[in-house]
């Protein structure tokens, strides 16, 4: 499609020239290192880090940024990922606090500690939970925290050995079964019914005295609300199981119905989803966990507490599952989420979930009009699952979208729907953007019908085109191979 | 409403297209009795009020002043170019690079990061990052358990107490036994390792600041068929022998010291680098090099069969999001410093720490000077560590990470110094320690 010969974009190591440099730290005079550290402790071969001028460095990472799709660039409707606008004022908010050291005396950190204390309280109020830990560093980390608390709870009641199973729906996020396994549980999957909800009969049959926990996402991973959630909660609790809420989809219902009120015992939140902290190309996320009172004694430490002499971090929780990570948590993101909650208030958060659901339903109808089918044809929540027409592959449509400067939806998830396209437009996209997205999807089908080779060749205009992923896996090249010179890892 | 684009007319058009008459009608499947609860959170505020409120909170913190804090994080030199480049909005507002054709920016930067971490540690394969040093250490222990099929680990007490606490949380869940090696003379003695031990975990430099005899410890682990997990401060690897050079199997640690702000403890990132034989057991994301259909070099997430979204309950870990952006900060920062700048910063840090130790010794402080240290060391104190830290904070100096009673040192704190220590800072700390009665007449005797 292009007359310009294919050229490799250079690696930073290929721009490197011995003796060039960018930044200069302050230098300190003093004795030689061998006398300070001991000769046998010293490194013999220096690391081959890039040697580039500051402008070369700037150009390299600026050009790499240009080779990167982002929300700030265009619509990014990845289902389950909640790629909504990340407000710029949050970045300024986080910078105000970024130089605080975690080992400072608490009396010099009262502002940050107050903010964290208030955030614990507000996240508890929004989820209907009695106590909150800000520790977990990501959603999956929050899941592990929650499941370990459930495990501690059953152990304390003498049922730890008996309750060895965690139930997850067959449409669950992969992290759910992986988390349960990491906590030593056996995973049993529960089928979904024709409406996309947990099959109540299959669920009831799977419940038993060996079940420790049920992990649910609501709205679930096909984007529909589990309408029998109160019955599910009742049956789970009657069987002695704890009900875990995967908060990946809380953004659909925030302010409108609370997991705690629906009967969930534990909830994790993805602050990078509902509370719009940036995804950063794959983290850092942040996954606070809220629990009902009967689990509060098992929360990880430290907790932020208020005492007579101000706020402090407390590790005084004898039944705690322990620490989940170092220090208090991903404070930079906690500050961003706090700023978001304070900007919107309850009314604003309700409008966020309302418009997220409005946009998703609008795009569902527009995609149906554009020739895509909807396996669960009902009102959806913040996201929905679609399928391309018979004979068209989801992967090909996704690649073709890239030529329109738009990001594809999540593809091939959930696993229970063939050729699944999971679409989550979020509330921050305008109708014009959603119309353009649906129009592009329609045009792709028309072009595919006219030109046999079109879809298989897409994308045509991206910085690189389809990749040989098999080669990447069969002959792994996971670091740059230096051509010459001493190396520490060769 | 901030961030929501719809006009009233847009909402009406959307509702008409869907065929409902209100947004609330889209929520009619929610349990009626539970809908729209009264939730007690503070009222909304505009941007100006928000920033004023946050500045008011920030004013109740105090980050400025002479700084000698270590114990897991330190404030190092970060050139202005580092955050400027790493925090470009294309990187900040991207998702995990699942569509490689439009994600070469993050994918290539991650490949460069993996190469730099491999160079720093002297080991073959770095993953794309983990949450922090503590969780990376726990994941390393789980890796060793999978690899050796043994269910016991030995951990040095020199590993940061919070890292050991996290290790305990993760391993307890799988009923894996942990035995702790007590320190002798502030360092880890070479242990006898039984044949049921999966790995020996040692931190270099250790929590008290001492440089460990990593070669001998590695040999002891290997003689018993156990792996050696080195928990390293990557900043120190500018000067100190890298894990690959003494035969460690896995290097893990926290990357904050490579260019991220301390941020009251997070986010930083964890790293994990392994020798190539452990590749298939490695948790987390990995970026590999390949070509596109036109033959151009390109990068892609690879070997995903280890991961949760493919293997579900059989995955090597449940980790999904890693800490990509903070790892990118490190990659940019390492390139900004280059080998020379990183070395200069590290040398400056070491010299300032030794200068401080010498000044304190001269003033009669309790410091064990015969054990080599890098840029942190332990000071015996009269009062409990947290009281010393608070007393120093009252005099405007940040210093003194408390050392717990588990070390058998009595009262003590860890002090650190970096290349950012300025003229007068050491005087301020020594003066403040004298003021609060921790130096005068303390004498040199300590047992």
Task: Return the CATH class of domain B81-332.
Answer: alpha beta
What tens-digit pLDDT sequence spans chain A (490 residues)? Answer: 445 666 899 999 999 999 999 999 999 999 999 999 999 999 999 999 999 999 999 999 999 999 999 999 999 999 999 999 999 999 999 999 999 999 999 999 999 999 999 999 999 999 999 999 999 999 999 999 999 999 999 999 999 999 999 999 998 999 999 999 999 999 999 999 999 999 999 999 999 999 999 999 999 999 999 999 999 999 999 999 999 999 999 999 999 999 999 999 999 999 999 999 999 999 999 999 999 999 999 999 999 999 999 999 999 999 999 999 999 999 999 999 999 999 999 999 999 999 999 999 999 999 999 999 999 989 999 999 999 999 999 999 999 999 999 999 999 999 889 999 999 999 999 999 999 999 999 999 999 999 999 999 999 999 999 999 999 999 999 999 998 655 544 3
Q: Are A338 and A119 in contact (CB under 8 A)?
A: yes
Tell me the shortest Cα–Cα distance from A167 to chain B, in angstroms. 12
Tell me the shortest Cα–Cα distance from B202 to chain A, in angstroms. 15
Q: Are residues A354 and A449 in the same domain?
A: yes
| Interhelix angle B425-435/B385-393, nearest 10 degrees | 120
Q: Do A140 and B320 touch (CB under 8 A)?
A: yes
Hey, is the C-beta of B26 within 8 angstroms of any chain A C-beta? yes
Q: Are residues A386 and A406 in the same domain?
A: yes
The CATH number of whichever domain residue A321 belongs to comes to: 3.40.640.10
> How many C-beta atoms lie closer than 10 Å to residue A2's C-beta?
9
- Taking CA atoms, what residue in B is nearest to A86? B93
Tell me, what's the pLDDT at B447?
A: 36
> How many C-beta atoms lie closer than 10 Å to residue B399's C-beta?
30
Positive or negative, the CA dihedral A282, A291, A262, A227 is positive
Tell whether A385 is covered by a domain: yes
Q: What is the pLDDT of residues A346-355, one digit of tens each?
A: 999 999 999 9
Residues of chain A in contact with residue B325, where contact means CB-CB under 8 angstroms, are 278, 280-284
| pLDDT tops 70 at residue B100 | yes
Tell me the shortest Cα–Cα distance from B26 to chain A, in angstroms. 7
Tell whether A352 is covered by a domain: yes
Helix (H, G, I), strand (E, B) or coil at A441: helix
User: With the CA atoms of A173, A178, A182 and A183 taken in that order, what torsion angle do they form, in degrees rounded to the nearest 10?
Assistant: 40
Q: Do B102 and A325 touch (CB under 8 A)?
A: no
User: Do the bridges between strand A421-423 and strand A410-411 make them parallel or antiparallel, or are there none, so unpaired?
Assistant: antiparallel
Residue B131 is nearest to which of A94, A138, A183, comparing CB atoms? Answer: A138
Distance CA A479, CA B120 (A): 12
Distance CA B261, CA B277 (A): 34
Q: Do A362 and B14 touch (CB under 8 A)?
A: yes
Q: Are residues A290 and A429 in the same domain?
A: no
Task: Give the distance, in angstroms, between the CA of residue A208 and the centroid of all CA atoms in the same chain.
Answer: 32
Q: Are A353 and A253 in contact (CB under 8 A)?
A: yes
Q: Do A97 and B61 touch (CB under 8 A)?
A: yes
Q: Are A252 and A382 in contact (CB under 8 A)?
A: yes
Name the CA radius of gyration of chain B, rounded: 25
Letter string b/e over residues B67-85, b meaning 16 or more CB atoms within 10 A of that residue's CB: bbbbbbbbbbbbbebbbeb
User: Do the bridges between strand A266-269 and strand A242-247 make them parallel or antiparallel, or are there none, so unpaired?
Assistant: parallel
Tell me, what's the pLDDT at B1?
A: 81
Q: Are residues A331 and A379 in the same domain?
A: no
Distance CA A141, CA A251 (A): 19
Q: Are residues A132 and A253 in the same domain?
A: yes
> How many C-beta atoms lie closer than 10 Å to residue A47's C-beta?
25
Q: Do A428 and B295 touch (CB under 8 A)?
A: no
Residues of chain B in contact with residue A1, where contact means CB-CB under 8 angstroms, are none
Residue B325 is nearest to which of A109, A151, A281, comparing CB atoms? Answer: A281
Tell me, what's the pLDDT at B444?
A: 41
Q: What is the pLDDT of residues B240-283, one digit of tens each?
A: 999 999 999 999 999 999 999 999 999 999 999 999 999 999 99
Q: Under CATH, which number does the domain B67-74+338-435 receive?
A: 3.90.1150.10
Task: Give the distance, in angstroms, between the CA of residue A336 and the centroid of all CA atoms in the same chain.
Answer: 15
Q: Are residues A333 and A354 in the same domain?
A: no
The CATH number of whichever domain residue A355 belongs to comes to: 3.90.1150.10
Q: Give the structural domain span for A133.
A: 88-343
Q: Are residues A454 and A307 in the same domain?
A: no
Q: Do B73 and A22 touch (CB under 8 A)?
A: no
Task: Give the distance, in angstroms, between the CA of residue B100 and the centroid of all CA atoms in the same chain.
Answer: 28
Positive or negative, the CA dihedral A255, A261, A263, A265 is positive
Q: What is the pLDDT of residues B130-188, one digit of tens each?
A: 999 999 999 999 999 999 999 999 999 999 999 999 999 999 989 999 999 999 999 99
Residue B412: beta bridge partners?
B380
Q: Do A327 and B75 touch (CB under 8 A)?
A: no
Tell whether A81 is covered by a domain: no
Q: Are B74 and A129 in contact (CB under 8 A)?
A: no
Q: Which of A68, A87, A258, A276 to mutate to test the interface with B (most CBs of B within 10 A)?
A: A68
Tell me, what's the pLDDT at A196?
A: 93
Residue B173 is nearest to which of A183, A256, A471, comparing CB atoms? Answer: A183
Residue B104 is nearest to which of A30, A413, A463, comparing CB atoms? Answer: A463
Tell me the shortest Cα–Cα distance from B365 to chain A, in angstroms. 19
Q: Do A278 and B325 touch (CB under 8 A)?
A: yes
Residue B377: beta bridge partners?
B415
| pLDDT tops 90 at residue B440 | no
User: With the CA atoms of B140, B141, B142 and B148 taken in that order, what torsion angle do they form, in degrees rounded to the nearest 10?
Assistant: 110
Tell whether A35 is covered by a domain: no
Q: Are residues A255 and A143 in the same domain?
A: yes
CA-based nearest residue to A437, from A352, A355, A351, A363: A363
Hey, is the C-beta of B9 within 8 angstroms of any chain A C-beta? no
* Of B446 and A336, more confident: A336
Tell me, what's the pLDDT at B314?
A: 86
Burial class (CB in 10 A: 0-12, 13-18, 19+), B427: exposed
Residue B337 is nearest to which of A23, A66, A366, comparing CB atoms? Answer: A23
Residues of chain A in contact with residue B165, where contact means CB-CB under 8 angstroms, are 322-323
Q: Are residues A385 and A465 in the same domain?
A: yes
Q: What is the 3-state secondary structure (H, E, C) of B272-318?
A: EEECHHHHHHCCCCCEEEEEECCCCEEEEECCHHHCHHHHHHHCCCC
Q: Mark which of A292, A313, A343 sits at the end of a domain.
A: A343
Q: Are residues A272 and A371 in the same domain?
A: no
Residue A358: partners with Cβ closer than 8 Å, 6 or more residues away: A427, B6, B11, B14, B15, B18, B23, B26
Distance CA A454, CA A465 (A): 13
Helix (H, G, I), strand (E, B) or coil at A236: helix
Q: Are A218 and A382 in contact (CB under 8 A)?
A: no
Count of H helices and E strands in chain B?
12, 14
Residue A198: beta bridge partners?
A192
> How many C-beta atoms lie closer than 10 Å to residue A265's C-beta?
27
Q: Are residues A358 and A338 in the same domain?
A: no
Q: Are residues A186 and A315 in the same domain?
A: yes
Indicate yes or no: pTM above 0.90.
yes
Residue A65: partners with Cβ closer than 8 Å, 6 or more residues away: B88, B90, B91, B105
User: What is the per-residue DSSP string for A393-410?
Assistant: -HHHHHHHHHTTT----E
Alpha helices in A69-199 (DSSP H): 88-96, 110-127, 139-156, 175-182
Domain count, chain A: 2
Fold matches, B67-74+338-435 and B81-332: no
Q: Which H or E run contains A363? A: helix A331-369
- Taking CA atoms, what residue in B is nearest to A19? B340
Hey, is the C-beta of B67 within 8 angstroms of any chain A C-beta? yes
In total, the C-beta contacts within 8 angstroms joining chain A to chain B are: 685
Q: CB-side exposure of B209: number of CA atoms within 13 Å?
A: 33
Hey, is the C-beta of B266 within 8 angstroms of any chain A C-beta? yes
Tell me the shortest Cα–Cα distance from B435 to chain A, in angstroms. 18
Tell me, what's the pLDDT at B369?
A: 83
Residues of chain B in contact with residue A60, where contact means CB-CB under 8 angstroms, are 335
Residues of chain A in contact with residue B175, where contact means CB-CB under 8 angstroms, are 184
| Interhelix angle B324-362/A54-66, nearest 10 degrees | 150
Q: Which of A271, A397, A404, A479 to mutate to test the interface with B (most CBs of B within 10 A)?
A: A479
ipTM: 0.97
Tell whether A64 is covered by a domain: no
Tell whether A54 is covered by a domain: no
Tell whether A157 is covered by a domain: yes
Tell whether A391 is covered by a domain: yes
Q: Are A261 and A240 in contact (CB under 8 A)?
A: no
Residues of chain A in contact with residue B274, where contact means CB-CB under 8 angstroms, are none
Distance CA A295, CA A131 (A): 9
* pLDDT mean across residues, chain B: 96
Tell me, what's the pLDDT at B263?
A: 98
| Interhelix angle A431-450/A331-369, nearest 10 degrees | 50
Q: Do B173 and A148 touch (CB under 8 A)?
A: yes
| pLDDT tops 70 at residue B84 | yes
pLDDT band at residue B311 using 50, 70 and 90 as cut-offs: confident
Q: What is the pLDDT of residues A360-394, one digit of tens each?
A: 999 999 999 999 999 998 999 999 999 999 999 99
Task: Give the distance, in angstroms, between the CA of residue B411 and the centroid of all CA atoms in the same chain.
Answer: 26
| pLDDT tops 50 at residue B445 | no
Hey, is the C-beta of B234 within 8 angstroms of any chain A C-beta? no
- Enumerate the domain spans of chain B: 67-74+338-435, 81-332
Tell me the shortest Cα–Cα distance from A200 to chain B, in angstroms. 17
Letter string b/e over residues A297-335, b meaning 16 or more CB atoms within 10 A of that residue's CB: bbbbbbbbeeeeeebbbeeebeebbbbbbbbbbbbbbbb
């Amino acid at each position: 499609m292009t007359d310009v010969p294919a050229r490799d974009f250079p690696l930073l190591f290929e721009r490197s020239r011995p003796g060039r440099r960018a930044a200069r730290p302050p230098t300190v005079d003093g004795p030689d290192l061998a006398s300070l550290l001991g000769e046998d402790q010293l490194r013999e071969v220096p690391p081959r880090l890039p040697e580039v001028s500051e402008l070369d460095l700037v150009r390299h990472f600026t050009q790499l940024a240009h080779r990167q799709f982002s929300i700030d660039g265009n619509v990014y409707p990845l289902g389950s990922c909640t790629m909504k606008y990340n407000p710029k004022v949050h970045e300024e908010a986080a910078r105000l606090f970024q130089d605080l050291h975690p080992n400072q005396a608490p009396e010099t950190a009262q502002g940050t500690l107050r903010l964290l204390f208030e955030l614990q309280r507000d996240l508890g109020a929004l989820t209907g939970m009695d106590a909150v830990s800000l520790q977990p560093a990501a959603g999956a980390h929050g899941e592990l925290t929650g499941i370990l608390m459930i495990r501690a709870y059953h152990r304390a009641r003498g049922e730890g050995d008996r309750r060895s199973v965690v139930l997850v729906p067959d449409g669950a996020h992969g992290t759910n079964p992986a988390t349960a396994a990491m906590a030593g549980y056996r995973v049993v999957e529960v089928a979904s019914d024709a409406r996309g909800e947990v099959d109540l009969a299959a669920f009831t049959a799977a419940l038993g005295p060996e079940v420790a926990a049920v992990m649910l996402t609501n709205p679930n991973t096909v984007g529909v609300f589990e309408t029998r959630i109160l019955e599910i909660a009742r049956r789970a609790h009657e069987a002695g199981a704890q009900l875990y809420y995967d908060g990946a989809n809380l953004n659909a219902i925030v302010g409108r119905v609370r997991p705690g009120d629906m009967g969930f015992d534990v909830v994790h939140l993805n602050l990078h989803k509902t509370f719009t902290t940036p995804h950063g190309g794959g983290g850092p996320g942040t996954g606070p966990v809220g629990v009902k009172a009967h689990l509060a004694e098992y929360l990880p430490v430290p907790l932020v507490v208020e005492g007579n002499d101000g706020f402090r971090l407390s590790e005084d929780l004898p039944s705690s599952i322990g620490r989940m990570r170092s220090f208090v948590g991903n404070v930079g993101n906690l500050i961003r989420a706090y700023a978001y909650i304070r900007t919107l208030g309850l009314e604003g958060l309700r409008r966020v979930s309302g418009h997220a659901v409005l946009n998703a339903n609008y795009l569902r109808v527009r995609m149906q009009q554009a020739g895509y089918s909807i396996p669960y044809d009902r009102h959806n929540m913040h996201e929905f699952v679609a399928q391309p027409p018979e004979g068209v592959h989801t992967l090909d449509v996704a690649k073709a979208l890239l030529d329109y400067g738009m990001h594809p939806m999540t593809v091939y998830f959930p696993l229970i729907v063939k050729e699944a396209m999971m679409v989550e437009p979020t509330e921050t996209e305008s109708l014009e953007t959603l119309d353009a997205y649906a129009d592009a999807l329609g045009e792709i089908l028309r072009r595919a019908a006219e030109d046999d080779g079109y879809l298989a060749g897409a994308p045509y205009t991206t910085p690189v085109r389809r990749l040989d992923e098999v080669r990447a896996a069969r002959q792994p090249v996971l670091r740059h191979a230096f051509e010459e010179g001493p190396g520490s890892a060769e | 409403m901030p961030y929501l684009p719809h006009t009233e007319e847009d909402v009406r058009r959307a509702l008409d297209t869907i065929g409902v008459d209100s947004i609330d009608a889209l929520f009619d499947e929610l349990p009626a009795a539970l809908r729209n609860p009264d939730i007690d959170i503070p009222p909304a505020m505009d941007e100006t009020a928000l920033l004023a409120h946050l500045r008011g909170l920030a004013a109740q913190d105090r980050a400025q002043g002479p700084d000698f804090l270590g114990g897991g994080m330190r404030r190092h030199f970060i050139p202005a170019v580092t955050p400027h480049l790493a925090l470009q909005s294309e990187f900040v507002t991207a998702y995990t690079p699942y569509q490689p054709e439009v994600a070469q920016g993050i994918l290539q930067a991650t490949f460069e990061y993996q190469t730099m971490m491999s160079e720093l540690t002297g080991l073959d394969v770095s993953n794309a990052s983990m949450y922090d040093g503590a969780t990376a250490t726990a994941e390393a222990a789980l890796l060793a358990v999978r690899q050796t099929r043994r269910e016991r680990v030995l951990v040095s007490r020199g590993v940061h107490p919070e890292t050991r606490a996290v290790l305990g949380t993760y391993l307890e869940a799988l009923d894996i036994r942990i035995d702790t090696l007590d320190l002798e003379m502030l360092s880890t003695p070479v242990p006898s390792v039984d044949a049921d031990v999966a790995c020996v975990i040692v931190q270099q430099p250790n929590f008290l600041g001492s440089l460990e005899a990593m070669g001998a410890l590695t040999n002891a682990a290997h003689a018993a068929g156990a792996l050696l997990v080195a928990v390293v401060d990557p900043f120190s690897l500018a000067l100190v022998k890298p894990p690959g050079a003494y035969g460690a199997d896995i290097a893990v640690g926290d990357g904050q010291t490579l260019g991220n702000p301390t941020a009251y403890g997070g986010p930083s990132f964890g790293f994990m680098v392994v020798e190539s034989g452990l590749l298939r057991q490695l948790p987390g994301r990995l970026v590999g090099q390949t070509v596109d259909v036109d033959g151009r070099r390109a990068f892609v997430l690879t070997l995903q069969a280890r991961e949760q979204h493919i293997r579900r309950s059989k995955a090597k870990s449940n980790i999904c999001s890693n800490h990509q952006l903070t790892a990118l900060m490190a990659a940019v920062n390492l390139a900004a410093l280059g080998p020379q700048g990183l070395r200069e910063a590290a040398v400056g840090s070491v010299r300032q720490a030794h200068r401080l130790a010498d000044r304190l010794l001269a003033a009669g402080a309790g410091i064990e000077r015969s054990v080599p240290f890098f840029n942190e060391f332990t000071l015996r104190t009269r009062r409990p560590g947290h009281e010393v830290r608070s007393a120093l904070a009252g005099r405007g100096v940040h210093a003194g990470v408390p050392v717990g009673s588990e070390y058998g040192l009595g009262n003590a704190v860890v002090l650190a110094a970096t290349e950012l220590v300025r003229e007068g800072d050491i005087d301020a700390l020594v003066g403040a320690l004298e003021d609060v009665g921790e130096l005068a007449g303390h004498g040199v005797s300590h047992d």
